[in-house]
C-alpha cells in the first residue's frame, strides 16, 4: 500500500511486532489488552528524514515516521496512540485504517489531533516545509483542521487551542445554568461571567 503519495525513497513497509511495542513502552497489562483487541497490525510505512525527502533536519525534529495502524474496528482508544508514541523516539504521523477508510493523527505539545474518517484514497496531506521542523508543524496544523492558528510556534498554538476548548466547555455549562436559575440576582451574576468568558473566547478566535 502506497501511503499518502510519498516518494519511494521514504518507504520502509516493515511490520512491527506488537510485542516489541509492549516491551519498549513498558505497557501495563490493561493497555496491552486494548491494543491486542483493537489493533490488527502496526506497519512502519515511511521514514521522513533529510536523506529520504531531501529537506534539512530541523532543530527539534530530525525524523518523522509514518505508522499505519490497521484496526479491527472503526476507532482506537486514545491511550493506545499516546503509549505507542512514547515508545518511539521520533515524531509520528499515525494513519489509522479500517476497511476502505482512514484517519490521520499527530501529537503536538502533549495533545493529539486527528482528522475525520475519510475514504482512504481521500486522505490528502501536503508535505511541505523548508526543514523537518516546518514540515512537522505544517502536518499538525493540517490534521488539526483549523483549530491551531498559524501565529507563533506550534506549542503556543496548542496552548491557545486548549484554552479555547476550556472556554467552550465553561460557556456551555454556564448557558445551561442561567436557563435553570430562578433568582434574578443569580441570573445577572451568571450572565456577567458568561460575557467575560465569551469576550475571552472572541479574543482567542480573533
Q: What is the tens place of the pLDDT at every residue in 11-32?
A: 999 999 988 888 777 778 888 8
- DSSP secondary-structure letter at 152? S
Q: Are residues 176 and 131 in the same domain?
A: no
Which residue from 55, 126, 131 is spatially nearest to 93, judged by alpha carbons? 126
Which residue from 13, 68, 22 is spatially nearest to 42, judged by alpha carbons? 68
Count of Cβ atoms closer than 10 Å to residue 198 Cβ: 14
Contact 177, 140 (CB under 8 A): no
CA–CA gap between residue 109 and residue 111 (Å, rounded) = 6
Strand partners, 11: 46
pTM (predicted TM-score): 0.85
CA–CA gap between residue 46 and residue 101 (Å, rounded) = 19
Q: Are residues 101 and 140 in the same domain?
A: yes
Least confident of 134-138, 140-144, 179-183: 179-183
Strand partners, 98: 101
- pLDDT category at 1 given cuts 50, 70, 90 is very low
> At CB < 8 A and 24+ separation, what contacts does 121-124 make?
123/4, 123/95, 124/4, 124/5
Q: Are residues 188 and 165 in the same domain?
A: yes
CA–CA gap between residue 203 and residue 147 (Å, rounded) = 14
Cβ neighbors of 147 (< 8 A, separation 6 or more) are 113, 161, 164
Domain ranges, residue 123: 8-148
| pLDDT tens figures, 89-118 | 899 999 999 999 999 999 999 999 999 999
Q: Are residues 144 and 164 in the same domain?
A: no
The x, y and z cell numbers of residue 178, run together, are 442561567
Q: Are residues 141 and 192 in the same domain?
A: no
Q: Are residues 17 and 107 in the same domain?
A: yes
Q: Are residues 180 and 80 in the same domain?
A: no
Number of structural domains (the chain) is 2
Amino acid at each position: 500500500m502506497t501511503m499518502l503519495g510519498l516518494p519511494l525513497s521514504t518507504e520502509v513497509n516493515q511490520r512491527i511486532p506488537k510485542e516489541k511495542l509492549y516491551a519498549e513502552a513498558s505497557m501495563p497489562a490493561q493497555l496491552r489488552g486494548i491494543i491486542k483487541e483493537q489493533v490488527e497490525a502496526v506497519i512502519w510505512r515511511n521514514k521522513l528524514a533529510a536523506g529520504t525527502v531531501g529537506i534539512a533536519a530541523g532543530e527539534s525534529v530530525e525524523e518523522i515516521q509514518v505508522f499505519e495502524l490497521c484496526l479491527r474496528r472503526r476507532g482506537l482508544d486514545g491511550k493506545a496512540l499516546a503509549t505507542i508514541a512514547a515508545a518511539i523516539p521520533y515524531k509520528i504521523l499515525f494513519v489509522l485504517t479500517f476497511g476502505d477508510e482512514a484517519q490521520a493523527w499527530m501529537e503536538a505539545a502533549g495533545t493529539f489531533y486527528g482528522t475525520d474518517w475519510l475514504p482512504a484514497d481521500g486522505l490528502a496531506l501536503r508535505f511541505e516545509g523548508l526543514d523537518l521542523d516546518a514540515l512537522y508543524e505544517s502536518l499538525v496544523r493540517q490534521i488539526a483542521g483549523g483549530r491551531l492558528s498559524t501565529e507563533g510556534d506550534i506549542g503556543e498554538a496548542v496552548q491557545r487551542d486548549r484554552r479555547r476548548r476550556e472556554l467552550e466547555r465553561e460557556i456551555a455549562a454556564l448557558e445551561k445554568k442561567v436557563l435553570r436559575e430562578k433568582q434574578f440576582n443569580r441570573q445577572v451574576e451568571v450572565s456577567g461571567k458568561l460575557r467575560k468568558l465569551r469576550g475571552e473566547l472572541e479574543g482567542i478566535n480573533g
